[in-house]
Chain A
Amino acid sequence: MRKARRAILKAFGVGACLFAAGVRAQPEPVRIGLTAVFLDDEIRFLLRWRAYLEQRLGRKVQFLQRGRYREAIELLREGQLDAAWICGLPYVRFRSDLRLIAVPLFQGKPLYRSYLIVPSSDTATRSILDLRGKIFAFSDPDSNSGFLYPSYVLRLSGERVETFFKRSFFTWAHRKVVMAVSAQLAQGGAVDGYVWETLHRAQGGLTAGTRVVARSPEFGYPPIVARAGLAPELAQALRDAFTGMTRDSEGRALLAALNLDGFTPGSETLFDSIEAMSRVVQSA
C-alpha cells in the first residue's frame, strides 16, 4: 500500500517537472479577451479559430471570454490580457491605454450600425420615441450600438433613458437583447446590427420574433485592440494574423462562420463619431 503510494507520488512528481519544462521551452501564450461583440458562445468555432491563430502566430493562444466590456477593458489595462475584441465605445474612452490592432470588415466596410428592434407583433412603432413608458433592453452600458446610440438619440430629443422608459435593463449580450424582445420581456431593444444580421442568417427563428424599426448611421466596427505595453513585434504579428485570414482557405472559412469579410488595420478616426456621441451623452 505504502509502496504503491510512493510510486504514484514519484510518477506525479516526474510528470509535474516535465510539464514545467515544456512550459518553459515555449514563449508566453498570447491572451486574447473575447466579448459579446460577436456570437462568442459557439465553443467549437472558438477552438477552431484559436488553433488557426496559434498556427499563424507560432505560439500558444489563450481565449478569455468576458461577459462585460468593462471587465475586458480592466483586464487589458491591468496587463492580464494582451489583446481583446471590444466595442468602439470603451476603445475611445481608454484610447490612451490601448493600441488598435485590426478592425473587422462587415459587408466590405469596417463599419456597422445599431438596430432598434421591437417584437414582430408590434407593427406601430416607427422610432424609439414611440416607446415611451415601455420596457427597453440594452446590451451593455459600455456598448455603442447597444446603449450609447439609443441614449444619444433620446438625448437629442431632450429625453433621458432613466425617465423615458418605464424600465430598462441590460442583457449583457446583443443576442440576448434579441431574445428579450422576441419573448416580449421588453417592448424594444438596441442591438448590434451585425449580430442581428448574423442571427437572422443563421437562426431565422430567433430574429423572426423581432422587427427592425430603425437603423443607425454607420459607426466604426468594434475593433481588436491591444494593451499599450504589448511588444510591437507581437502586436504586428497579431495584426498580420487577423488581416491575413482572407489569404488561406481555413481563414476564409472562419471568416464565413463569423459572417465577416476580413480584417483591416483600420484607423483611429473610424471611431470619432462614437466619441462625439459619448461626449454629448456624458455632458448631461
Chain B
Amino acid sequence: MIRFRDLSLSVTIPIRVTTMVLATAFAVTAILLWREYEELQRDLANSSASLGSLLATSLITPMTHDDLWRAFEIARAPVTGTAAGSTVTPRHVTVLDAQRRIYVSSDPVRFPHGAPAPFALPLDRSASGFVETAQDELLSVTAITADGVELGFLVLGYSNVQFRPRIAELVRRALLGTAAVLLVLLPLSWLYGRRTAAPLLGFAREMERIGRRSAHAPENDAAVSGNELARVGESFRRMVAALEEKERLEQQMVQADRLAAIGRLAAGVAHEINNPLGGMLNALNTFRRHGRADPVATRAADLLERGLLQIRDTVRALLIEAKAGNRPLTRDDIEDVRTLALANGKRIRLQWRNELQGTIGLPSTLVRQILLNLLLNAEHAVDADGEVGCYVGCANGSLRIVVRNDGAHIAAERLPHLFEPFALEEPPGNGLGLWVTYQLVRELGGSIAVRSAPGNTQFDVCMPVPKAA
C-alpha cells in the first residue's frame, strides 16, 4: 500500500495544484449554479405574480356574473396552447370563491367545482410568494378583489418536477463550461506543478549523491532568481563544500596518524637495532686488534663489518635527529644545497629562486636535508634536460619551500601513500627520502603537500618560524 505522502514530489505537487484548480473550478461552478437557481425562482415568482394579477383582473367579471365557462376559459388559457410546456407554465390554475370553495380550475378532475379547497393556504396573506405543498407543488396565491371586496382567490400551482429539466440543463451547461476551462487549466496547472517540483527534485537527487561523493548543488533558473529556492541552493552548495573540506581533513588526519605510527614503529625498531649494533661493531674492532691475522677470518670480519655499517646507515636514516645542529638557517645554506644538487651530474634546467634574507630561526641542518631530499627526488623524476623549479621564501611568519618538476607524474592512487617508507617503485637512494622529509617537516611543526598532474609535480612545504626568544 503506497501512501500519498510517500509518492514523489514530481507527482504530488502537480496533483495538489491540479486538485486546487479542480476544487476552485467546481466551487465557482456551484456558486454560479446556485445563483442561476435563485434567479430561476425569482423569475418564477415574478412571472407568477404578473400572471396572477392579470388573471385575477380578468376573472372579476366572470365571477360577478357567475359565468363558470368564461372563468374556466380564463383559468385554462395559461396551461394550454402555446404557453404549455414552458418552465414557467403553471400546472393548474384554480379559482376559489369567497367561501374558499373551488369555483373553477383548469384541472376540474382534480379540483371539481364546489369542493372545499384542498390547500392549506395562508389565504389571508395577499403578498406574492410561494407555498410548498406535499405534492411537489409550489402554490402562488393572488386575491381576486373588486372595489375592495374579496371575490375569491386565484391559486397558481407549479410543479417542482417541471423545473428539473431546466435545472438539469443549467447543470449540464455549467459542467460543460467548467470542463472547457479545465481542459485549458489542467495541463497548465500540471506543468506549473512540475516546474515547481523540479528544483526540489534536483536537490533530492544531489543529496542522494552526497553519499556517493559527487554532490553538486543543482543548477536551475530559481538559483539565479533570488527566491528561497535560490537561497537553499546556495546553502546546499556551501554545505557540500564544507563536507568535502571535512572529508579532506579527515583523510589528512588518517594519513598523518598512519605516518606517525609508522614513524614510532620505525624509531622503536631503529633504537632496538642501534644498541646491539654499536656493541657488535666494538666487538669486531676488538677482534681485529687482538685476533690472529688469519687471512680467512680477516676477510670474514671485513664482510661482517661492511654489512653492519650498512645496517647502521639505514637505521640512522630512520632515526630522525631533530636536535642535530642548532645553527639557524641563512641564505647561504640554501645556496649550498643548490651546489650539492647540481653536483649530481645529471643535465637539468634548474629554475632557482632564493628569496631568503638574513637568518631564519629554523635549524639549518634539517632544512638543508629537506630541501636536498626534494631536489634529488625532482632530479631523479625528470628526463634529461628536464626542468626543475625551486622556490624558497619567507612570508607570514613561515618558511616556504616549493619544488616542482616536469617529469612523469605520480598516479593519483599512490598519492596518499607517498610519504610512507619505500613508497616509490624506483626510489632515488634508499627509498626513505620522502618519508624522512615528511618526518623532518612534522618534527619542525610544518606541513607538506603534493600535487601531481602530467607535466607538473609539485611539493609544497610550509614551516612556521619560531618567534625569536
Contacts and interface: CB of A to CB of B under 8 A. Distances in A.
Interface stretch (A21-29, A145-153, A156-164, A165-173): A165-173
A172 B114 CA distance: 22
A180 B69 contact: yes
12 contacts: A135-B113, A135-B114, A166-B114, A167-B68, A167-B113, A169-B69, A171-B69, A183-B108, A185-B69, A185-B104, A185-B108, A185-B113
A66 interface: no
Contacts, number: 30
Given A183-B76, A183-B108, A184-B109, A169 B114 contact: no
B69 A176 contact: yes
Given A183-B76, A184-B109, A170 B114 contact: no
Chain A interface residue bracket vs B: 10 to 19
B319 to A, nearest CB: 133
Interface in B60-86: 67-69, 72-73, 76
A233 to B, nearest CB: 42
A102 interface: no
Nearest to A119: B109
Given A135-B113, A167-B113, A167-B114, A184 B108 contact: yes
B115 to A, nearest CB: 11
Closest 6 CB pairs of A and B: A169-B68, A185-B108, A171-B69, A184-B109, A184-B108, A185-B72
Interface string B102-145: 00100011001110000000000000000000000000000000
A137 interface: yes
A175 to B, nearest CB: 12
B389 to A, nearest CB: 117
A170 B67 CA distance: 8
A171 B104 CA distance: 14
> Could you say which of A169, A171, A176 has the most chain B C-beta atoms within 10 Å of its C-beta?
A169
B69 A172 contact: yes
Contacts of B67: 169
Contacts of B73: 176
Given A176-B73, A185-B68, A185-B104, 6 more contacts: A135-B114, A137-B69, A166-B114, A183-B72, A185-B108, A185-B113
A135 B73 CA distance: 16
A167 B112 CA distance: 12
A75 to B, nearest CB: 22
Contact of B72 (A166, A167, A172, A180): A180
Interface in A170-219: 170-172, 176, 180, 183-185
Nearest to A183: B108
Contacts of A176: 69, 73
A166 B104 CA distance: 14
A167 B104 CA distance: 12
Nearest to A177: B69
B74 to A, nearest CB: 13
A170 B73 CA distance: 12
Interface string B19-44: 00000000000000000000000000
A185 B112 CA distance: 7
A101 B442 CA distance: 153
Contacts of A171: 69
A170 B114 CA distance: 17
Nearest to A172: B69
A172 B112 CA distance: 21
B57 to A, nearest CB: 21
Nearest to A176: B69
Nearest to B108: A185
A68 B69 CA distance: 14
Interface string A53-68: 0000000000000000
A172 B76 CA distance: 17
